[in-house]
């Protein structure tokens, strides 16, 4: 078990933060349909480049400015962007360009909210990767920054835009699986990420101070730089990197906002003395209305992969990133259903399928909403809510106590 931070019996969270998660941002003014949307990309690492490739397929969008703290990331992103695109290591410089209408934020987690707030102040539409927040307190701050803005913010929980996830929501809403009391989630992997090895990053090619941002000062470490998700200053481990995807799906399908409490456990089995965040975790989240969610995640064994199950009184709905199944309970009259969207071999729980293209669908929704002024599929408030559940799970794990909302 990781060392505890606070020692109180129950880690109490701010009711103000919870209430803020329900706030919905203003509807935007539409962007003319015949005009090209110029997009600046802030953080051009591997995840952002996947998004850039999808965005490049959307008509009347151009990626005109690239920003990253690492020369290598900028050079790898350049071929995907507009041929005339410029580059910088200062996101403030990018945001100061008036001909940039929107930004795609793919920075490490601890920079998501500071950059989003700065972008909103600069009157830019925003697509920001998940988790939206790195700390619970950031939720209210980013919602307040958006409250009086006529700007579109889409959080990168792209499952909401996948047709089979939307169908799962419709099936549950129509009562096809009865009353849902339990949700089971997993995201299990078995990779070499847990090992420390030389990565060949030239410190001179990195603006380390800019990378740290508001994090505490510390010497350059190429492993932390390339694997920041597993260090508390920059990420939140499995709960904020992986679980947050399925928690957001559960919130979307069941119309939930936030858990009332969490009980968690975390251990080091394969990444001891390498990561700060545990490589194997579990949490039980309890929601108002008698809904329990259980999540398991590990980097020691990929059994069960990545999926979510909605367990109803009449049937269970299984969803992963490329399939949906409805499995009736014994002696119940629910109609079974099985849909596989991907064309790759039948492998339940795969991290990625070739179909549906969630990134493309989600980015297209963002662009459409910039033009129409409508609320996007994964609005700011949903991002705050999903991240808050992951933070609650981490608080319970790090204290070894039940974490509960106040009020």
Confidence of residue 348 (pLDDT cuts 50, 70, 90): confident
Would the pLDDT of 21 be above 70? no
More confident: 406 or 335? 335
Confidence check: pLDDT of 72 > 80: yes
Point out the least confidently predicted range of 27-31, 49-53, 114-118, 137-141.
27-31
pLDDT at residue 14 is higher than 70: no
**pLDDT tens-digit map of 119-174:** 999 999 999 999 999 999 999 999 999 999 999 999 999 999 999 999 999 999 99
Q: What is the pLDDT of residues 387-403, one digit of tens each?
A: 999 999 999 999 999 99
pLDDT at 354: 86
Q: Which among 89, 113, 85, 111 has a CA at the least distance from the CA of 99?
A: 85
Per DSSP, the three-state class of 351 is coil
Contact call for residues 322 and 343 (beta carbons, < 8 A) = no
CATH homologous superfamily, domain 163-350+389-405: Dihydrodipicolinate Reductase; domain 2 (3.30.360.10)
Give the lowest-confidence range in 22-31, 58-67, 185-194, 264-273: 22-31
The rounded percent of the chain whose pLDDT value lies above 90 is 86
Q: Is the pLDDT of residue 341 over 60?
A: yes
- Would you state the pLDDT for residue 13? 45
> Which residues neighbour 217 within 8 Å (Cβ) at sequence distance 6 or greater?
none
| 1.10.3720.10, 3.40.50.2000, 3.40.50.720, 1.20.1250.20: CATH of 20-160+360-379 | 3.40.50.720
What would the pLDDT profile of 168-224 be if each residue is shown by its tens digit?
999 999 999 999 999 999 999 999 889 999 999 999 999 999 999 999 999 999 999
| Nearest by Cα to 168 from 306, 345, 382, 321 | 321
Q: Per-residue pLDDT averaged across 234-253, rounded?
A: 98
Record the pTM.
0.93
**Please, where in the chain does CATH 3.30.360.10 lie?**
163-350+389-405
- Is there a contact between 153 and 380 (Cβ–Cβ < 8 Å)? yes
* C-alpha distance from residue 213 to each of 152, 155, 171, 208 (Å): 25, 21, 44, 9
Mean pLDDT for 43-68 is: 98
Least confident of 18-32, 351-365, 381-395: 18-32
Other Cβ atoms within 10 Å of 213 Cβ, number: 16
Indicate if the pLDDT at residue 260 is higher than 90: yes
- Select from 111, 104, 119 the least CA-distant residue to 156: 104
List where CATH 3.40.50.720 sits in the chain.
20-160+360-379
């Amino acid at each position: 078990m990781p060392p505890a931070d606070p020692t109180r019996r129950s880690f109490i969270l701010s009711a103000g933060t919870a209430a803020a998660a329900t706030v919905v941002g203003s509807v935007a003014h539409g962007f003319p349909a015949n005009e090209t949307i110029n997009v600046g990309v802030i953080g051009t690492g591997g995840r952002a480049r996947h998004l850039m490739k999808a965005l490049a397929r959307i008509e009347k969008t151009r990626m005109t400015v690239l920003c990253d703290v690492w020369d290598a990331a900028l050079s790898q992103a350049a071929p995907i962007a507009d041929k005339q695109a410029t580059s910088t290591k200062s996101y403030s410089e990018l945001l100061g360009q008036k001909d940039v209408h929107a930004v795609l934020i793919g920075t490490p987690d601890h920079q998501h909210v500071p950059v989003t707030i700065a972008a909103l102040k600069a009157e830019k539409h925003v697509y920001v990767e998940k988790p939206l927040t790195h700390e619970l307190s950031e939720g209210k701050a980013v919602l307040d920054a958006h409250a009086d803005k006529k700007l579109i913010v889409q959080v990168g929980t792209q499952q909401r835009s996948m047709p089979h996830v939307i169908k799962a929501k419709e099936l549950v809403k129509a009562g096809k699986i009865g009353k849902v009391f339990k949700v089971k989630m997993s995201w299990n992997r078995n990779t070499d990420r847990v090992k420390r090895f030389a990565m060949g990053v030239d410190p001179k090619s990195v603006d380390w101070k800019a990378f740290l941002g508001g994090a505490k000062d510390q010497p350059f470490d190429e492993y932390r730089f390339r694997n920041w998700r597993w260090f508390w200053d920059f990420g939140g481990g499995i709960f904020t990197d992986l679980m947050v995807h399925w928690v957001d799906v559960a919130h979307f399908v069941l119309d939930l906002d936030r858990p009332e409490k969490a009980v968690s456990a975390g251990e080091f089995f394969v990444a001891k003395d390498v990561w700060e965040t545990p490589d194997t975790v579990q949490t039980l989240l309890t929601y108002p209305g008698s809904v329990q969610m259980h999540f398991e995640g590990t980097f020691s064994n990929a059994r069960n992969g990545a999926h979510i199950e909605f367990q109803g009184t009449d049937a269970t709905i299984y969803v992963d990133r490329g399939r949906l199944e409805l499995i009736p309970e014994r002696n119940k009259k629910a109609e079974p259903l099985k849909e596989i969207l991907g064309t790759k071999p039948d492998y339940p729980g795969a991290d990625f399928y070739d179909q549906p293209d969630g990134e493309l669908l989600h980015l297209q929704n963002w662009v459409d909403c910039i033009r129409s002024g409508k609320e996007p599929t994964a609005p700011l408030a949903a991002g705050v809510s999903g991240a808050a559940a992951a933070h609650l799970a981490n608080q319970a794990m790090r204290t070894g106590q039940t974490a509960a909302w106040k009020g």
